[in-house]
């Protein structure tokens, strides 16, 4: 089975278990809370769900290492609930109006109910993880919860920096990398790590898995940053140079602000024309910002593959799921930039 | 030692451990996050701290049952961090501007940073509880985390109802009791229960402790509701009939809305004079709302004492901390109404 076939078999299982877990909770007089969580998870209408990348990664990793779906499932559910909790709160914090082509939760129910619904989903993520006690024992459950909450704390550190950066002129590229390691890397690292923990791996192996997931997330985010300036609008679905237009402080832009006085001057200007935005992209390329971002992305990509190679050194010994992990990494990172 | 002497000895220990726990976390590039948590915990200036009732209750209960402070401390820290997480989010949700005579966290740092700081403190509450693995073993740690997150989920159910009630005309007294059982009862129940769990008690004893803490919280809240209408302004620090003025749907008011057409008529009117507010309080009393609320409070008070009597049947066998639990209950509930 290749990646696509494996995911086709895993995704319906994940979805059923996610729904069963929510349905098993006692919402009592708070049916509105259940309605909000159902909406956020994308069960209200077709086509409004996320891709479930994180729980897929948990289960793929576990099976690649010889683990069992049934033992690992609580961890897979937990990371997906956790991810959705962060989406609810991030959408309020960023004042995002739409997600998956629908109004965000706070747009529909108001900020107060949305903050609280996020908190409920955070508790539910913890309760889901606690079910590991039944499948893997209490010692593994405690380790998993520790990893989960260290990751959450890391996420909130990244998010705090991200919010501050909106008004903060001087952000160094290294602080930016620390920020995205919290916002994007940490949860993918946790997902891969939990696959190892719940399939009975030792600490060095689990550390490699964290490293793999984190590097994968970092490389993916930086590629996204590059595509946000130089991506082909026909492929990315965004307008050309969209991050320059929206004044998003992504990695290439931070390099530019650090390296080029010309770029800094234009960054200060208001109401730029299309030609001027195009000119900014060229200045960025000329001052080496594009190459520097590429190098950074490449370095994380190599780290992700190195960690995978270390975990599965011989290609002939890899089972279908291990091969699929290489395929997934390749697919997430191969996008042309 | 009486209650006051015991608390005088416990409170500095609690405070030191709370501070040590926050200081031991790696905030890395996110020093602003640390600053916010320090502000919320009341360590920035004198007189801005809460009373630390919940961690005191955890430790008092554990010692009353022969437990050790050092073993139970992680649970005490956890409930105080959790309580402060709920305060940060509640203040945003209720748009409260002041707490402990200072601007609320969101007033000072904005809504986005405040939501995120609450999430960080929620993670920290979980990490604090996980330290029980070192003092009580992983099986107790998993049980405590399960109780913690069931309580959080209960809190969010109560809070969701509370937010909805602001715009919802028809709230039944029984739905209101379910709401305050989440908002006030659950966390005090958890605090007492954790004292039992971490001091090695069996399940029936832990259940009685939950019952005791929950009843204590419910009785306290309903007494507060009664004081909000008929309390002596000189003693409560609030203006007379303040809950009638602010249109807060508390238990006596919900009884009034259910029982009296006269009261419903006045509740619909706008810009009421002091005399009219006074008249509303009288109608409430005449239609039996005050007596009904009193009876409800009395019933929970009796349940709290009954649970305590059940736990410590013989007054001669009670140690100082057990006697202090009776004193604390008496003190919290004796306020004149």
Tens-place pLDDT, residues A153-201: 999 999 999 999 888 767 899 989 999 999 899 999 999 999 999 999 9
Identify the three-state secondary structure at position B28: coil
* Confidence band, pLDDT 50/70/90 cuts, at residue B170: confident
Of residues B240 and B221, the one with the higher pLDDT is B221
What is the predicted pLDDT for the residue at A337?
A: 45
pLDDT of B241 above 80: no
A138 CA: distance to closest CA in chain B (Å): 6
Q: Do B89 and A126 touch (CB under 8 A)?
A: no
Question: What's the CA gap between A334 and B266, in Å, rounded?
Answer: 68
pLDDT of A335 above 70: no
Chain B residues near residue A30 by CB distance under 8 angstroms:
156-158, 160-161
Q: What is the value of pTM for the model shown?
A: 0.94
- Comparing CA positions, the residue from B78, B31, B126 lying closest to residue A82 is B126
Q: What average pLDDT does range B189-205 have in this prediction?
A: 98
Q: What average pLDDT does range B201-222 have in this prediction?
A: 96
pLDDT of A238 above 70: no
Residue B172 touches partner A, C-beta closer than 8 Å:
no
- What is the four-CA torsion angle of A30, A32, A33, A37, rounded to 10 degrees? 150
What is the predicted pLDDT for the residue at B235?
A: 73
What is the predicted pLDDT for the residue at B335?
A: 61
- Exposure of A234 in the CB half-sphere (CA atoms within 13 A): 1
Question: Residues of chain A with pLDDT > 70: what percent?
Answer: 97
Chain B residues near residue A32 by CB distance under 8 angstroms:
160, 164
pLDDT of A284 above 80: yes
Among chain B residues, CA nearest to A112: B93
The percent of chain B in helix, strand and coil, each rounded to the nearest 5, is 75, 0, 20
Q: List, for residues B111-128, the tens digit of each pLDDT value.
A: 999 999 999 999 999 999
Q: Do B161 and A29 touch (CB under 8 A)?
A: yes
Q: Do A153 and B94 touch (CB under 8 A)?
A: no
What is the predicted pLDDT for the residue at B237?
A: 64
Chain A residues near residue B110 by CB distance under 8 angstroms:
163
What is the predicted pLDDT for the residue at B74?
A: 98
Chain A residues near residue B185 by CB distance under 8 angstroms:
none
Q: What average pLDDT does range A123-151 have in this prediction?
A: 98
CATH level 3 topology of B3-333: Farnesyl Diphosphate Synthase (1.10.600)
Three-state DSSP string of B58-90: HHHHHHHCCCCHHHHHHHHHHHHHHHHHHHHHH
Question: What's the CA gap between B190 and B209, in Å, rounded?
Answer: 8
* Confidence band, pLDDT 50/70/90 cuts, at residue B76: very high
Q: Mean pLDDT in chain A?
A: 93
Q: Which of B157, B170, B181 to mutate to test the interface with A (most CBs of A within 10 A)?
A: B157
B291 CA: distance to closest CA in chain A (Å): 26
pLDDT of A105 above 70: yes
**In this complex, how many residue pairs, one in chain A and one in chain B, have their CB atoms less than 8 Å apart?**
163
Question: Residues of chain A with pLDDT > 90: what percent?
Answer: 82
What is the predicted pLDDT for the residue at B337?
A: 45
The residues in B 25-64 lying below 8 A from A, measured between CB atoms, are 25, 27-30, 32-33
Residue A163 touches partner B, C-beta closer than 8 Å:
yes
Of residues B150 and A332, the one with the higher pLDDT is B150
Least confident range of B47-61, B135-149, B323-337: B323-337
The residues in A 116-145 lying below 8 A from B, measured between CB atoms, are 116-120, 122-124, 126-127, 130, 133, 138-139, 141-142, 145
Q: Do B150 and A127 touch (CB under 8 A)?
A: yes
Q: Which of A34, A74, A153 to mutate to test the interface with B (most CBs of B within 10 A)?
A: A153
What is the predicted pLDDT for the residue at B247?
A: 86
* Confidence band, pLDDT 50/70/90 cuts, at residue A234: confident
Question: What's the CA gap between B74 and A146, in Å, rounded?
Answer: 14
Contact status, residue B312 vs residue B224, Cβ threshold 8 Å: no
What is the predicted pLDDT for the residue at A334?
A: 75
Among chain B residues, CA nearest to A28: B157
Chain A residues near residue B33 by CB distance under 8 angstroms:
156-157, 160
Q: What average pLDDT does range B161-168 have in this prediction?
A: 88
* Confidence band, pLDDT 50/70/90 cuts, at residue A231: confident
Question: What's the CA gap between B311 and A189, in Å, rounded?
Answer: 47
Pick from B94, B115, B160: which is nearest to A33 by CB? B160
What is the predicted pLDDT for the residue at B118?
A: 98
A284 CA: distance to closest CA in chain B (Å): 26
CB atoms within 10 A of CB A241: 21
Question: What's the CA gap between B127 and B25, in Å, rounded?
Answer: 10
What is the predicted pLDDT for the residue at B100?
A: 85
Chain A residues near residue B77 by CB distance under 8 angstroms:
none
What is the predicted pLDDT for the residue at A336?
A: 53
CB atoms within 10 A of CB A246: 11
User: Domain residue spans in chain A?
Assistant: 3-333
Top mean-pLDDT range of A94-98, A208-212, A271-275, A315-319: A208-212
pLDDT of B236 above 70: no
Q: List, for residues A26-81, the tens digit of each pLDDT value.
A: 998 899 999 999 999 999 888 778 999 999 999 999 999 999 999 999 999 999 99
In B158-191, which positions are buried (b, 16+ CB within 10 angstroms) versus exposed (e)? bbbbbbbbeeeeebebebbbbbbbbbbbbbbbbb
What is the predicted pLDDT for the residue at B190?
A: 98
């Amino acid at each position: 089975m290749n990646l696509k076939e494996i995911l086709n078999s895993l995704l319906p299982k994940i979805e059923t278990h996610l729904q069963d877990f929510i349905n098993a909770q006692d919402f009592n007089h708070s049916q509105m809370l259940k309605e909000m969580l159902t909406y956020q998870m994308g069960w209200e209408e077709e086509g409004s769900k996320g891709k479930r990348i994180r729980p897929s990664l948990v289960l793929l990793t576990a099976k690649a290492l010889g683990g069992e779906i049934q033992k690992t499932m609580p961890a897979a559910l937990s990371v997906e609930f956790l991810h959705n909790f962060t989406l609810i709160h991030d959408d309020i914090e960023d004042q995002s109006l739409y997600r998956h082509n629908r109004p965000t939760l706070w747009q529909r129910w108001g900020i107060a109910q949305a903050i609280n619904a996020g908190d409920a989903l955070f508790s539910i993520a913890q309760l889901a993880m606690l079910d590991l006690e039944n499948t893997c024992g209490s010692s593994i459950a405690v380790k998993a919860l520790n990893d989960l909450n260290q990751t959450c704390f890391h996420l909130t550190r990244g998010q705090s920096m991200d919010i501050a950066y909106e008004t903060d002129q001087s952000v160094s590229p290294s602080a930016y990398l620390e920020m995205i390691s919290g916002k994007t890397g940490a949860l993918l690292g946790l997902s891969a790590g939990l696959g190892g923990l719940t399939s009975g791996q030792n600490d060095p192996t689990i550390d490699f898995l964290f490293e793999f997931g984190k590097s994968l997330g970092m490389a993916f985010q930086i590629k996204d940053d590059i595509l946000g300036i130089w991506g082909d609008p026909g492929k990315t679905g965004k307008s050309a140079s969209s991050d320059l237009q929206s004044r998003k402080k992504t990695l290439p832009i931070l390099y530019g602000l650090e390296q080029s006085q010309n770029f800094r001057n234009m960054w200060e200007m208001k109401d730029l024309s299309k030609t001027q935005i195009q000119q900014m992209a060229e200045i960025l390329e000329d001052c080496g910002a594009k190459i520097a971002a590429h190098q950074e992305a490449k370095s994380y990509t190599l780290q992700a593959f190195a960690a995978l190679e270390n975990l599965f050194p011989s290609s002939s010994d890899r089972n279908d799921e291990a091969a699929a992990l290489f395929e997934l990494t390749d697919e997430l990172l191969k996008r042309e930039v």
